[in-house]
């Protein structure tokens, strides 16, 4: 009897771990999708498709900052080799070259913190957005895989 209880407990625990993993994957992907939306909103202003709006800028930069803070825990070891729904997968290099990945996170955090103090109008946005975009791209180039 005791044994059965233990087996059930173990099963329940591993099912819980799978759910936690799926939640984590969803959180990570949702966060990156929000980054994409915010970067799109900023680039619409730069292109002149939308008027400059400080509160949109502030919200986007706050979300990038939040991403920079979360990135160190967004890709736990348990996600290695995972396939996501959608066009992109995380590259195994995230876990194989941890130091490189962490240095990308640091560079990203730095340019975001920098931009936060600087972007006050369209001109400064035009100057800062490419700097941020370059860091998004630098990380994606090595640590994100575009499917098929």
Length, in residues, of the chain: 148
- Name the residue nearer to ligand HEC (CB basis): 49 or 85: 85
The verdict on 144 binding ligand HEC (CB under 6 A) reads: yes
Angle at 143 between CA 83 and CA 99, to 5 degrees: 125
How many residues lie near ligand HEC (CB under 6 A)?
A: 24
- Name the residue nearer to ligand HEC (CB basis): 39 or 46: 39
* Interacting residue with ligand HEC among 21, 24, 39, 46 (CB under 6 A): 39
Cα separation of 66 and 82, whole Å?
Answer: 23
- Name the residue nearer to ligand HEC (CB basis): 29 or 124: 29
Q: CB-hemisphere CA count at 13 Å for 73?
A: 6
- Name the residue nearer to ligand HEC (CB basis): 52 or 132: 132
Instruction: Please give the radius of gyration of the chain, using alpha carbons only, rounded to the nearest integer.
Output: 19
* Interacting residue with ligand HEC among 32, 61, 111, 125 (CB under 6 A): 32
Q: List the one residue out of 141, 128, 145 whose CA is nearest residue 60.
A: 128
- Are 136 and 39 contacting, i.e. CB atoms less than 8 angstroms apart? yes
Any known ligand binding at 25?
no
The verdict on 71 binding ligand HEC (CB under 6 A) reads: yes
Beta strands in 22-96 (DSSP E): 88-90
Instruction: Give the interface with ligand HEC as residue ranges (CB under 6 A).
Output: 28-29, 32-33, 35-36, 39, 64, 71, 84, 86-88, 90, 104-105, 108, 132, 135-136, 139-140, 143-144
- As annotated, the binding site for heme c includes 136, 139-140
């Amino acid at each position: 009897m005791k044994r059965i209880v233990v087996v059930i407990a173990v099963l329940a625990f591993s099912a819980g771990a799978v759910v936690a993993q799926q939640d984590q994957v969803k959180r990570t992907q949702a966060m990156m999708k929000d980054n994409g939306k915010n970067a799109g909103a900023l680039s619409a202003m730069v292109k002149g498709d939308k008027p400059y709006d400080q509160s949109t800028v502030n919200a986007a930069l706050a979300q990038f900052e939040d991403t920079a803070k979360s990135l160190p825990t967004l890709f736990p070891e348990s996600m290695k080799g995972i396939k996501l729904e959608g066009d992109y997968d995380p590259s195994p290099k995230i876990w194989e070259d941890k130091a490189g990945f962490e240095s990308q996170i640091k560079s990203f955090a730095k340019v975001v913190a920098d931009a936060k103090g600087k972007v006050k109008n369209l001109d400064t946005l035009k100057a800062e957005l490419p700097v941020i975009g370059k860091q998004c791209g630098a990380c994606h180039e090595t640590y994100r895989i575009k499917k098929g």
